[in-house]
Chains A and B, each alone.
Chain A
Amino acid sequence: DSGVTQTPKHLITATGQRVTLRCSPRSGDLSVYWYQQSLDQGLQFLIQYYNGEERAKGNILERFSAQQFPDLHSELNLSSLELGDSALYFCASSAQGLLNEQFFGPGTRLTVL
């Protein structure tokens, strides 16, 4: 158990819909990262937050957005969903930044029908 929690574990929805994925980092970790893992794209970095502020952006679509709240939990919002958005979405946290290891949550499996 990494100490990072993600909800829900599974999500099935239809094209065009909007969903919110939630992540609680390890106690004391200030950085939260979001990743998307799919068979064709592999593991892609989406976005990083540090203590509530956006720190870095990766291959995140404009239809996706995220935020980190004062209690350090984070949410990833995916809107106007397409079939190709079906993937595993991982959240990870670390103590400070990239100089440290990241601890991954169990992931949310999103299926868009």
Chain B
Amino acid sequence: SQQGEEDPQALSIQEGENATMNCSYKTSINNLQWYRQNSGRGLVHLILIRSNEREKHSGRLRVTLDTSKKSSSLLITASRAADTASYFCAAAWDYKLSFGAGTTVTVRA
């Protein structure tokens, strides 16, 4: 079964708006990673947050991690059309990386 579960399943926003997606996982983790996938292509790593970190920034991305709630969130600020993609969280535990079902983000021009 999958460790990570994203919410919402799909998100449609206007260019310039912020997009927030959430991820929940089930067991203790080494770290939590976020990836982006453009339609049918390979996944691209976005950001990694370790279990002892609470927040991390990378450009327009902000990730938070709450290990007590076993949850993480990804915020994309000032979205662009090029941000249209599926976003996956992946929980790293026990030598495995377990992906959620993903959030499909559509950014409207």
Contacts and interface: CB of A to CB of B under 8 A. Distances in A.
Contacts of A104: 35, 42-45
A45 interface: yes
Main secondary structure of the interface of A (DSSP, over half): strand
Given A56-B95, A99-B30, A42 B42 contact: no
A97 B42 contact: no
Interface residues of B, number: 25
Interface string B30-42: 1101010000111
A97 B45 CA distance: 14
A45 B41 contact: no
B43 A45 contact: no
A17 B95 CA distance: 31
B45 A102 contact: yes
Given A33-B97, A43-B88, A99-B31, A106 B48 contact: no
B45 A45 contact: no
Interface in B79-109: 88, 92-102
B81 to A, nearest CB: 22
B96 A98 contact: yes
B96 A42 contact: no
A7 to B, nearest CB: 14
Q: What are the 5 A-B residue pairs with the smallest beta carbon separation, nearest first?
A: A56-B95, A104-B42, A101-B45, A98-B92, A43-B99
Interface of B: 2, 30-31, 33, 35, 40-45, 48, 50, 88, 92-102
